[in-house]
């Protein structure tokens, strides 16, 4: 796998965080960690000037962020209103922050926002190589056990990527920050952590055989 280059994201007129700058970061390693820890992102793009946002699953190789969809789907068509960049957000909600005043209630979270013009990948071998990387994220080692992909499936699947460069990170991971005079207010304050776990595997009712159970994603 190609390794990511450089250590800083590009702070531009688009990617610079405007509000809550004390929560902002342009550290690329932090961004890559958040991207890898999340299974789902939200892709925003315009069509005839109207914004649309689509949730989808993503993966990463090196400096590139990938997603796929039906080859006719809007979000793998590249920019429709030229020369538009898409805007993608990847967020993980980590907890509720309960303060002494309503105003200072907040959430702990990790969030990356990316901008870029999607690049369509049409080379068949490269598409298959990327699908394997995606499957390895979802369930390591599973690809080799599956019925192999065929040409119709490869053609029916649209694949795009953008470089992880023009981007920003925002995160919060701390107790409530109250107004100094409120710290003695008589109410519980702190963080209610949100935890994500994989529940018990639910085997397909149409499957009577017993096969080894899949490995879950390494992080989420």
Q: How far is CA 127 from the centre of its chain?
A: 20
For its own copies, the closer CB: 4 or 136: 136
> In angstroms, what is the minimal distance from the CB of 148 to its own copies?
8
Question: Which whole-number Å values give the CA distances from 180 to 27, 74, 107, 135, 219, in the listed order?
Answer: 31, 49, 20, 49, 37
For its own copies, the closer CB: 6 or 142: 142
> In angstroms, what is the minimal distance from the CB of 104 to its own copies?
9
Show the tokens assigned to 56: 């989808």
For its own copies, the closer CB: 4 or 178: 178
> In angstroms, what is the minimal distance from the CB of 162 to its own copies?
13
What lies within 8 Å, CB to CB, of 180 at 6+ separation is none
Q: How far is CA 119 from the centre of its chain?
A: 18
8 Å CB contact between 71 and 82: no
Show the tokens assigned to 128: 């298959």
> In angstroms, what is the minimal distance from the CB of 8 to its own copies?
22
3-state class (DSSP) for residue 88: strand
For its own copies, the closer CB: 26 or 149: 149
Q: By C-alpha distance, which of 151, 144, 153, 132 is closest to 61?
A: 132
> In angstroms, what is the minimal distance from the CB of 144 to its own copies?
10
Q: How many other β-carbons are positioned within 10 Å of the β-carbon of residue 74?
A: 15
For its own copies, the closer CB: 4 or 98: 98
8 Å CB contact between 73 and 43: no
For its own copies, the closer CB: 60 or 166: 166
> In angstroms, what is the minimal distance from the CB of 29 to its own copies?
21
Length of the chain: 220
* Residue that has been written with the tokens 């304050």 in this structure: 189
């Amino acid at each position: 796998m190609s390794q990511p280059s450089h250590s800083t994201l590009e702070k531009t007129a688009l990617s610079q965080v405007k509000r809550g700058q004390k929560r902002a970061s342009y550290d690329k390693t932090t961004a890559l960690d958040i991207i890898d820890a999340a299974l789902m992102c939200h892709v925003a793009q315009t069509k005839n000037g109207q914004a649309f946002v689509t949730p989808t699953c993503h993966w990463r190789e090196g400096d590139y962020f990938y997603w796929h969809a039906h080859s006719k789907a809007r979000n793998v068509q590249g920019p429709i209103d030229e020369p538009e960049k898409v805007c993608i957000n990847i967020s993980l909600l980590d907890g509720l922050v309960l303060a002494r005043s309503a105003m200072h209630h907040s959430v702990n979270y990790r969030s990356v926002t990316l901008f870029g013009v999607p690049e369509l990948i049409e080379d068949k071998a490269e598409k298959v190589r990327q699908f394997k990387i995606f499957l390895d994220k979802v369930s390591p080692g599973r690809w080799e056990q599956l019925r192999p992909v065929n040409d119709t499936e490869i053609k029916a699947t649209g694949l795009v990527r953008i470089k992880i460069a023009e981007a920003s990170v925002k995160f919060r991971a701390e107790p409530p920050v109250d107004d100094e005079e409120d710290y003695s207010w008589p109410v519980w304050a702190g963080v209610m952590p949100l935890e994500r776990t994989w529940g018990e595997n639910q085997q397909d009712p149409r499957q009577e055989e017993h096969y080894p159970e899949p490995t879950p994603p390494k992080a989420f």
